[in-house]
Amino acid sequence: MKRIYALTLTVLFFAAPLLASTFPSSGSSLTLGPLSNPHHLSSLTHNPAAGSLATDDGNRYRFGLLTSVGAGYELGPVDSLVDELDDLADRIDDIDNFSDFQDLKDDFDDLLVQMGQDGYLKVSAFAHVPLMPIAITHSLWHGTLIFDASYNGAVRMGVLDSPIEWNDESAEAFTNTSLYLKGAAVREISLGYSMPWAITGNRLHTGVRLKHYEGDLYKNVIALMDSDDVSDTFEDEYDANEHNDSDIGIDIGVLWSDDFYHLGATLRNANEPSLRYPVLGNCNGLTGSARTNCETAKDFSHRINMEERYTMTPQAQLEGALHSPDKFWLIGASVDANPVYDSVGDEVQWAALGLAFNTNSWVIPAYRFGYRTNLAGSELSYVTTGFTLFRVLSLDVAYGLDKVEFDEEEYPRSMAFNLGLEVSF
């Protein structure tokens, strides 16, 4: 019986509202990184100072149609993780003598430790609300206003390992090994303002963005030995293990843009907003699987945070690019100056290189190529590519360079894509 396969599918089904990322990038930013570039609307949502790069003589309006939606996955460096957990869950039920128990323990104890350290599955998704972002440049306010609304979230399934043990009284093998589930869907509504400074010949741009976060955060521990009725267990406990919270964030940006280069810096979440996860370990009034899982969570209280907050630590982001005066040709790089933790507790610090050929032609596609790596946490690296057709339709893909084995076949540990539609006039 494929218990863990059933659990994985159940998690993704019931957590679908949470999937709104492994990747902090939308649209072309998945390929190029968060480089400020007026040819790509999604790039104007990173550095708050970048909006005024869209300034023309007179007024300018830009908005998305379906800008943008995307999804991705990430696997820990443990080959056949789900198969191995299923094998353990099936074999441990069939153990009825001490000799078989010793064989099982020899086969799995070391593997369980590795699973606890490195085993996880994470699925993430991103979506802008239709028509968002909207950028409006007008002489009335001497700059650009950017309105945006988006969902960004992830679901992560990890392993809390425990040795396989023998119960002399019942003559049964058992393990306290459990699955640790975390999920977060964060809705972000923002209003940004940027302006060029005439005293610098409009080369210096500054900007600020005010953001309202509202998050639905989920957390639970499910005992592996109790995973037979996983669908019912997960469904019954879902609402009780979800918490809604909100906060306000502030981004600040500065950008120097010349004919052939630009340099920029962003401070994200300068005021350190945070959202609270549901509290684990309050087992009063619980029965059945809910109580078993609650008690199991308490057993792991020395390894997991029972009263956790998702704190959006301030992060500095640096960018620089060389480009043609019309920015049709561009090569650039960006790097996060410090690591932070994402909504499900994984450490991220992105660095990216990108090369782009942009065009205003309705016939000739725009192309871009890049490379990105996480300097912290998973330390995964990706090759990235994307194109824009008819000036409105964009597709970008990130392909992980690290591999993991499944059913004797190798697959990338991580992949992601973004799809977007945008218009400007």
Q: Do 93 and 385 touch, CB atoms closer than 8 A?
A: no
Q: What is the pLDDT of residues 366-420, one digit of tens each?
A: 899 999 999 998 999 999 999 988 878 889 999 999 998 777 788 899 999 988 8
d(CA 33, CA 127): 17
Q: Do 40 and 332 touch, CB atoms closer than 8 A?
A: no
Q: If pLDDT is split at 50, 70 and 90, which confidence band does 285 have?
A: confident
Q: If pLDDT is split at 50, 70 and 90, which confidence band does 106 have?
A: confident
Q: Do 183 and 15 touch, CB atoms closer than 8 A?
A: yes
**Alpha-carbon distances, residue 334 vs 17, 64, 146, 204 (angstroms):** 32, 24, 22, 19
- Amino acid sitting at position 347: E
Q: Do 46 and 24 touch, CB atoms closer than 8 A?
A: no
Q: Two tokens at 69?
A: 């939606």
**Alpha-carbon distances, residue 76 vs 88, 117, 119, 245, 398 (angstroms):** 18, 9, 5, 29, 17
Q: Two tokens at 286?
A: 């619980």
Residue 335 β-bridge partners: 318, 351
3-state SS of the chain? CCHHHHHHHHHHHHCHHHCCCCCCCCCCHHHHCCCCCCCCHHHHHCCHHHHHHHCCCCCEEEEECCCCEEEEEEECCCCCHHHHHHHHHHHHHHCCCHHHHHHHHHHHHHHHHHHHHHCEEEEEEEEECCCCCEEEEECCCCEEEEEEEEEEEEEEEEEECCCEEEECCCCEEEECCEEEEEEEEEEEEEEEEEEEEHHHCCCEEEEEEEEEEEEEEEEEEEEHHHCCCHHHHHHHHHHHHEEEEEEEEEEEEEEEECCCEEEEEEEECCCCCEEECCCCCCCCCCCHHHHHHHHHHHHCCCCCCCCCEEECCCEEEEEEEEECCCCCEEEEEEEECCCEECCCCCEECEEEEEEEECCCCCCCCEEEEEEEEECCCCCCEEEEEEEEECCCEEEEEEEECCEEEECCEEEECEEEEEEEEEEEC
Q: What is the pLDDT of residues 208-241, one digit of tens each?
A: 999 999 999 999 888 877 655 555 555 556 666 8
Residues 6+ apart with CB under 8 A from 57: none
| pLDDT above 90 for 111 | no
- Amino acid sitting at position 261: Y
| pLDDT above 50 for 22 | no
Domain 3-424 fold is Porin (2.40.160)
Q: What is the pLDDT of residues 190-211, one digit of tens each?
A: 999 999 887 777 789 999 999 9
Distance spanning both ends of the chain, measured CA to CA: 57
Q: Where are the domains of the chain?
A: 3-424
- Amino acid sitting at position 295: E
Least confident of 76-90, 97-111, 167-181, 303-317: 76-90
Q: Two tokens at 408?
A: 């004797």
- Amino acid sitting at position 102: Q
Vertex 419: Cα angle to 414 and 424 (nearest 5): 145
**pTM of the full predicted structure?**
0.86
Task: Compute the residue count for the chain.
Answer: 425
What local confidence, expressed as pLDDT, does residue 272 receive?
A: 96
| pLDDT above 60 for 17 | no
- Is the pLDDT higher at 66 or at 69? 69
Q: Do 242 and 216 touch, CB atoms closer than 8 A?
A: yes
Give Cα 232 to chain centroid, integer Å.
27
Q: Do 195 and 136 touch, CB atoms closer than 8 A?
A: no
Helix axis angle, 230-238 relative to 3-14, nearest 10°?
30
